[in-house]
Structure 1
Amino acid sequence: MDFTTATASRAVPYKRERMEPGSLDDTRQAQRPRTAEVLLEEQLPNGIIETEEEKQKHWFVGSIDQGTTSTRFLIFNGHGEPVASHQIEFENKYPHSGWHEHDPIELLESVEVCIDKATEKFVAQGHSLSEIRSVGITNQRETTVLWDKTTGEPLYNAVVWPDTRTTSLVRELKSRPGAEKLQELCGLPLSTYPSSVKLLWVLQNVDSVRKAYDEKRLAFGTVDSWLIYRLNGGHDREGGPIYVTDSTNASRTMFMNLRTLDYDDTLLSFFEIDRTKLDLPKIVPSSHPTAFGSLARGSLKGTPIAGCLGDQSSALVGQCGFSPGQAKNTYGTGCFLLYNVGHEPVISKSGLLATVAYDFGQGRKPVYALEGSIAVAGSGVKFLQNNLSIIKESAEVDAVAKTVPDNGGVVFVTAFSGLFAPYWIDDAKGTLFGVTQHTEKGHIVRATLEATCHQTAAILDAMATDSGHALAKLAVDGGMSNSDLCMQTQADLSGIPVDRPAMRETTALGAAIAAGLATGVWNELDELNEVNSKGRKVFMPQLEVRQRKRMRRRWERAVDMSRGWVQHEDDED
């Protein structure tokens, strides 16, 4: 059980290897798919047109799921069921306290290896590669990649979404005129979280990046833009590079206006970004048959990339949260709760983010969401394993936690990167309260699980305040949702049922749905009503209201006491 990703199989460590495009035999190479335009018009032999049932049995969609700790490629059938996959972990770099980086080339190569390994398994099952109609991409958001548009090579490591090196910069930005008006335009508050402040820090501190900016060679993007650019062949692509993003990812940069779904001059001016010096990717719908190009090499060369969604939007789509009032929570490395608010953005007054949930184009209106983000979820479990050696494997969490009946008075505020929604406390540090000589490791494990559940409950309260009504139930997915104890704790602390699907690859499924909608695997959202509906388990609240309130009050007190631990040079004597 991996508590940072929702994977059906154990990840293998990343190795710097790449399968060459010609590594499959000639028969399998001949099975490569055709372009999106041809696929949309394709019929069976003798002019027979498939029924919907036949089509769903016949066609498959691939999904690139590029996350914070690993990359995966999954292949789904028309019923939304995964039939083949491959996953590899890659290196997370922490050069200084609070810094978090990835090698952009390593991200790209991990994607290419996963595609080739998963398609090998797919073919071994007796399938043809020509049955894979298109590919979708879902990715970690906010993570910032900068490259030279004349060479296609990265100029600096990717700065990953939880990175907090920008804390001092954010404090300075908050004092600038107009800072209080930004959230109304873009839906995000100033914090270390969005891509804008990461870009600004790199421009101010990395000479090679600043030089490229001044010489008008600098390309900026989130991980989706980087992957799409390189998977299409980069700057060497015939006809020019594909340099795009979708609105779910663009809405995490603080550069895009939520209502126009385009870059906003007021936002760019606030961050002092000169658009004549910086290339920004074109913003396109999340589902499109041609806008994202096609794979330029490897086992699926020529297959159209037809869908793109930021990972948390993708999970909402994978949970089929297509109606206002539906919500999902994904327990991955971090924890992210999205609440569908319909076709108009809702700017939160309670510490939440406003974001684009998805935009499927083709005459459909974009859909918006309220979002609550928690920096530490599955990574807290990894902390117990890797840093404290309290557990040997993530799968041991429930067993160790059950060695004690409760948390023994221990509260763990897991503010390793400050606290995100609904608190937005940049100067908090991880803090353990209530430790006595009777504290056992089981108490600390329970407190770690409860930390994520408490923050989720606080986000649900904020969503009820902003929307005017409480949520009826919470759909969940992600690696940490594998823990029955954690999900029961979530139901108890939130006071609402928690609904967990049997197939929890919902983030990857969402990207597959976006690609499938663009290439005719599905035509309308109502065709997806039965997708991933089998075998769901519902956890009902069992804790008395009085006890729930007592635990929540103790948590809020601990949050207040965790403030102010990050010191800045100008604050010290």
Structure 2
Amino acid sequence: MANKYILAIDAGTTGTRAVIVDRDSNIKAQAYSEFTQFHPAPDRVEHDPEEIWQTTYAMMKKALKAADLKPTEISAIGITNQRSTRMAWNRQTGQPIYPAIVWQDMRNANMVESIRSEWGEKAYKHTGWPLCPLYSSLGLWWMMENVPNARQQAEAGDVIFGNVDAWLIYKLTGGKVHATSASNATVAGYYDLYKDEWYKEWFDFLNVPVSGMPEVRDDSGFFGVTDPELFGVEIPITGNIGDQQSGLLGQGCIEAGSVKCTHGTGTFLNMNVGEKLPDSRSGTNVLIAWRINGKTTYTLEGYASVTGSAVQWLRDRAELIEDSAKTEELARSVADNGGVYFVPAMTGLAAPYWDTSARGTIIGITLGTSRAHLARATLESIVYQTKDFLQSMRADSGVEIKSMRVDGGAVRNDWLMQFQSNLLNAEVVRPTNPETTVMGAAYMAGLASGYWSSFEDAFSGIKVEKRFKPRMEAEERERLYGQWTKAVHHSRGWINNNG
């Protein structure tokens, strides 16, 4: 194995990255490309499944070329992916019947509210997810209702379902394997955590054929081999894990109570809670972190859907900045936020509020407000939202979080990381390699293929780049967060009370 490598894929929400990883957790080479974001209506976000596949395949080949490696030098392939983005395609031809409905999509918000009284508590108990438009099953229900003959074809076994991981495995294996992992199954909003199977009662209610769902396998295990036509050889696919769980693993958080925070398109906070299925009542999600050799590890998760994408909005829609990195300089240029608070609820509020009727709100503007204040308020909003679900997670776990590891593109911003440490009153640890999400997929693949002998063997190469310690007075911390909660209150219920 000494002269071989792991090829890991991170199929994200806005683009796909392929990396070549060595035994010391070093990235030998990588390739990245964005793909198209479609917004056919204000409440809709879609991707082209075929574009996702072609981008993934191209980046895999580009990474191999950049590393000057032959496909025979790859020990195994690992996949991590944006979660809850749902697809349906023809089993024989591989042709999608409709664009992928992205996890940020809100087209089913009204349907969610109409069934909340009947299904809200029951669905949360069984799936670990509060009922919300994020449920992959609701996207499949929409396709069955709106794509001609879709339900009939699915019932006949001609149309099958899956999230991004299942789609990529299907394409990589030349259509031979239709499978997902335990971690990906549990983020779909239709997996029964107690029975450890697809939530059939929910599928029956939606009239979506459960027969179209992929087989659930261990996250570290065998998912088939690549079609020889792709790389000239068969490469085993031995890792498949949802992106946030992958980040938790990639940070080395294998002990109960360890925490990681990912700042990407959205922000996700995950806590490893061990092998006992927890009971969450505070609005955080209960998920399978990973399953290895049939043994399950669970995680509590809080997430905000618009954080990094709020900075993108500031750049691309509001056109207040030309470069996302400019926000750090702008934030440092003012003494404080000038009393401005930005609640980026463009797609509603997620944990712990789960309010689909909330909308983006900027409040506290005066004649003295500058774009620097708006940029700072945007960065601060990322951390305020993190504190929202951290409060719930503490209540569910009983653990006082004193340290957390961070990853994702935004963690390169020192000002943001220091503000996070200040407001959360916790140490923030940034690794040398910020792309830890894709590393989790590499570790899963490497463990199953024998590339690494154990977690400890795999993690030996993880290095810390910087630690941020809290340096804010408790009174100021409480004042800022108190103002934030007032701003959140004003954003809630907006689309029901704007007349």
- Structure 2 CA distance for aligned equivalents of residues 292 and 156 of structure 1: 26
Out of 220, 223, 236, the position equivalent to 1:287 is 220
Structure 1 residue identity aligned to 2:370: E
Matches within 5 A, 1:106-125: 106-123=51-68
Q: Are 2:64 and 2:70, in contact at CA under 8 Å, matched by a contact in 1? A: no
- Structure of greater Rg: 1
Q: Does 1:243 align with 2:178?
A: yes
Q: 2:231 aligns to what SS in structure 1?
A: coil
Q: Which residue of 2 aligns with 1:342?
A: 274
- Structure 1 CA distance for aligned equivalents of residues 468 and 114 of structure 2: 45
Q: Does 1:252 align with 2:184?
A: no
Out of 430, 447, 450, the position equivalent to 1:517 is 447
Q: Does 1:89 align with 2:34?
A: yes
Offset at 1:211? Answer: 4.2
Q: Which residue of 2 aligns with 1:26?
A: none
Q: Which residue of 2 aligns with 1:526?
A: 456
Q: Which residue of 2 aligns with 1:33?
A: none
Q: Which residue of 2 aligns with 1:557?
A: 486
Q: Which residue of 2 aligns with 1:155?
A: 97
- Structure 2 CA distance for aligned equivalents of residues 551 and 292 of structure 1: 51
- Structure 2 CA distance for aligned equivalents of residues 107 and 134 of structure 1: 21
Out of 213, 225, 232, the position equivalent to 2:166 is 225
Q: Does 1:132 align with 2:74?
A: yes
> 1:534-560 CA distances to partner (integer Å, 9 max, x unpaired)?
243111111110000001111111111
Q: Which residue of 2 aligns with 1:104?
A: 49
Offset at 1:215? Answer: 4.1
- Structure 1 CA distance for aligned equivalents of residues 227 and 249 of structure 2: 24
Q: Are 2:174 and 2:226, in contact at CA under 8 Å, matched by a contact in 1? A: no
Q: Are 1:247 and 1:356, in contact at CA under 8 Å, matched by a contact in 2? A: yes
Q: Which residue of 1 aligns with 2:283?
A: 351
Give the TM-score, by structure 1 length: 0.84
Q: Are 1:461 and 1:470, in contact at CA under 8 Å, matched by a contact in 2? A: no
Rate the CA distance shift 1:329–1:295 in 2: closer, same or farther, 3 A: farther
Q: Does 1:456 align with 2:401?
A: no
Rate the CA distance shift 1:128–1:294 in 2: closer, same or farther, 3 A: closer
- Structure 1 CA distance for aligned equivalents of residues 342 and 495 of structure 2: 17
> 1:69-126 CA distances to partner (integer Å, 9 max, x unpaired)?
0111100001111001111111000000010000000000001100111111111xxx
Rate the CA distance shift 1:300–1:526 in 2: closer, same or farther, 3 A: farther
Q: Which residue of 2 aligns with 1:191?
A: 132
Out of 148, 166, 170, the position equivalent to 1:207 is 148
Q: 1:480 aligns to what SS in structure 2?
A: helix
Q: How many residues align?
A: 499
Structure 1 residue identity aligned to 2:59: C
Q: 2:230 aligns to what SS in structure 1?
A: coil
Structure 1 residue identity aligned to 2:246: S
Q: Does 1:304 align with 2:249?
A: no
- Structure 1 CA distance for aligned equivalents of residues 233 and 315 of structure 2: 40
Offset at 1:128? Answer: 4.5
Structure 2 gaps of 5+ residues are none
Out of 317, 335, 345, the position equivalent to 2:249 is 317
Out of 367, 392, 395, the position equivalent to 1:465 is 395
Rate the CA distance shift 1:486–1:202 in 2: closer, same or farther, 3 A: same
- Structure 2 CA distance for aligned equivalents of residues 210 and 204 of structure 1: 8
- Structure 1 CA distance for aligned equivalents of residues 228 and 128 of structure 2: 36
Q: Which residue of 1 aligns with 2:206?
A: 271
Q: Are 1:231 and 1:296, in contact at CA under 8 Å, matched by a contact in 2? A: no
- Structure 1 CA distance for aligned equivalents of residues 245 and 394 of structure 2: 20
Offset at 1:135? Answer: 0.5
Q: Does 1:442 align with 2:372?
A: yes
Offset at 1:299? Answer: 3.3
Q: Which residue of 2 aligns with 1:505?
A: 435
Offset at 1:296? Answer: 3.9
Structure 1 residue identity aligned to 2:199: D
Offset at 1:491? Answer: 0.7
Out of 6, 10, 14, the position equivalent to 1:69 is 14
Q: Are 2:257 and 2:271, in contact at CA under 8 Å, matched by a contact in 1? A: yes
Q: Are 2:154 and 2:209, in contact at CA under 8 Å, matched by a contact in 1? A: no
- Structure 2 CA distance for aligned equivalents of residues 487 and 190 of structure 1: 31
- Structure 1 CA distance for aligned equivalents of residues 92 and 133 of structure 2: 30
- Structure 2 CA distance for aligned equivalents of residues 449 and 558 of structure 1: 15
> 1:310-348 CA distances to partner (integer Å, 9 max, x unpaired)?
111111110011000001011000111110000012121
Offset at 1:189? Answer: 1.1
Offset at 1:268? Answer: 2.4
> 1:507-527 CA distances to partner (integer Å, 9 max, x unpaired)?
111000000001111122222
Q: Does 1:381 align with 2:311?
A: yes
Structure 1 residue identity aligned to 2:213: L
Q: Are 1:73 and 1:87, in contact at CA under 8 Å, matched by a contact in 2? A: yes
- Structure 1 CA distance for aligned equivalents of residues 23 and 291 of structure 2: 21
Matches within 5 A, 1:17-32: none
- Structure 2 CA distance for aligned equivalents of residues 104 and 399 of structure 1: 37
Q: 1:58 aligns to what SS in structure 2?
A: coil
Q: 1:141 aligns to what SS in structure 2?
A: coil
Rate the CA distance shift 1:232–1:356 in 2: closer, same or farther, 3 A: same
Structure 1 residue identity aligned to 2:394: A
Q: Are 2:71 and 2:233, in contact at CA under 8 Å, matched by a contact in 1? A: no
